[in-house]
Chains A and B, each alone.
Chain A
Amino acid sequence: MNGESKTVVEPYGVERAVPETEAEFRQEEMLLNLGPSHPSMHGIVRIITKLQGELVLDSEVEIGYLHRAFEKSCEATTWNQALIYTDRLNYVSTCINNVGYCLAVEKLLEIQLPPRGQYIRTMLCEVSRIADHLTCVGAAAMELGAFTVFLYMMIAREYCYELIEDYCGARITTNCSRVGGMPFDLSDGWLDKVGWTVGKVRHILKECDILLTYNRIFVDRTKGIGAISKERALQYGFTGPMLRACGVPYDVRKDHPYLIYHQLDWTVPVGHRGDVLDRYLVRMEEMEQSCRILEQCAGKIPGGPVSCDDKQVVLPDKKDTYGNIEGLMNHFKLIMDGHGIRVPAGEVYFSVEAGNGELGFYVVSAPDENSRDGCNGRPWRVRCRPPCLSFVAAMPEMIKGLMVADVVPTFGSINMIGGELDR
């Protein structure tokens, strides 16, 4: 950029490009990078901005700082072992990734879960979605200075984590479902704890709503900032709350119904300007809808088994394994290396509505050389369609012409999650 200017070598061998020629003094632009370990960049995205004073003239986004080889790792594990890697995709709403992957593999196996299992999966997904939106709105509000809202929402998120932990023992890396079934049944008292949690979350949401929605500073900092039009959003492949904030009512739970979303009544909130304020409002309303879904599920959940009865896929429960020889054989066949779940060759694309948008799993199973029955114990390729990759790709367009201080709320509103972005 200013190649010909003389560099003055200072102590400790640090070269400084000293502006020499008259053109350099006139130069207004400054290259600043909101680098990887910046608090508002969630630690793993680097935006190089060309600034003119406070104005962002142009910017370039660099990602890949949290690339952890998710797809390569999945190819080395068996079908059920790959679940631990799907936890760490969108690590804010982990149950949705697990359920999404399991539904994709079940579509490949063409098996269906009994109603109770589907109800449990729906409830876990909705609790995770509430936790996801709480984290996103809380962090975005904190980056705008509303630290109290962050603390309130973290407490609300603790209640959601307690619910998930009661079910599967872990708060974040839940591993909460298996291919073809669910690991556990609901512990007693879990259902009325759902009611208690929904009440608490609604109370905290009302408080944060009062704190933020009519707050002059919050509205001034977010209204009309980082806006994107409906056409450009579709060009960038937006889905989820971001696309709904632009006015397109596309929600995978309504448009490609899966689990039991079609049997419950809830609505899809849609904004119309597509700026940071609309995204905040859509997310707050979506949390309310998730609470409604949870209440209906807690009321209507049927009895019965939680896993499907196909013995080649689902482990028998413990009393069979130790009780009779068939249970022991089934257990042995599924656990020993080289046996496990045999998925026939084929490719399938299945998508669920994750916290950020349409999380699609393109799962390919191809028989390796020495497989006799044309099936494969390990996934050949697990491709995860990252919903937040489109939002980060559209960042340069959203922040062009804004002030540097507006880059932070825009980035906070797209809810970029590193694990899902870089996989």
Chain B
Amino acid sequence: MDSSVFDNNLIRFLFLFGAAGGLVAFFVALSAWLGPKSMNETKAQPFETGMIPKTDARRPFPIKYYLVAIVFIVFDVEVAFLYPWAVEFRNLGAAGFISMMIFLVILLVGLFYAVRKRVFEWK
């Protein structure tokens, strides 16, 4: 079987990325193009279970939300590093395992610090 364009990995990845992105773009565009749109005064107001909202949504947020968001991002990125490691876990051998465990321990210390600093309690 002669070599087809899909042999090298990059094309394969680009094709996958293009197909996925294209499908999503197609459906969003289709519904945006097809759907009827009608706007009136009440529709422009924010939906607060049918009542006229008392305060505006663009208010200063308490700082607590920011803290929780930051801690979430830290551990989310950590998980992002774990995926490729988990895929290649077998042939990375002991060295790979040790280095990842060090990485995890460092972040664990960060977690305990956050818990000690009572980031997660709201009161």
Taking Cβ atoms with an 8 Å cutoff, the residues of A that contact B are 1, 10-14, 16-19, 25-28, 30-38, 41, 46, 48, 52-55, 403
Contacts and interface: CB of A to CB of B under 8 A. Distances in A.
Contact of A48 (B45, B54, B61): B54
Which of B51, B64, B123 has its CB near the most chain A CB atoms (within 10 A)?
Answer: B51
B49 A34 contact: yes
B122 interface: yes
Interface string B45-86: 100111101111011111011000000000000000000000
Given A11-B44, A33-B49, A38-B49, A55 B123 contact: yes
15 contacts: A10-B44, A12-B40, A14-B41, A16-B56, A16-B58, A18-B56, A19-B60, A27-B59, A31-B54, A35-B50, A37-B49, A46-B51, A53-B61, A53-B62, A54-B122
B60 A12 contact: no
Interface of B: 39-41, 44-45, 48-51, 53-56, 58-62, 64-65, 122-123
A35 B47 CA distance: 10
Contact of B49 (A14, A36, A52): A36
Contacts, number: 66
Contacts of B64: 53-54
A213 to B, nearest CB: 26
A30 B60 CA distance: 10
A36 B55 CA distance: 17
A17 B60 CA distance: 13
B62 to A, nearest CB: 4
B55 to A, nearest CB: 5
Given A12-B44, A55-B123, A403-B122, A25 B60 contact: yes
B55 A31 contact: yes
B59 A52 contact: no
Nearest to B49: A35
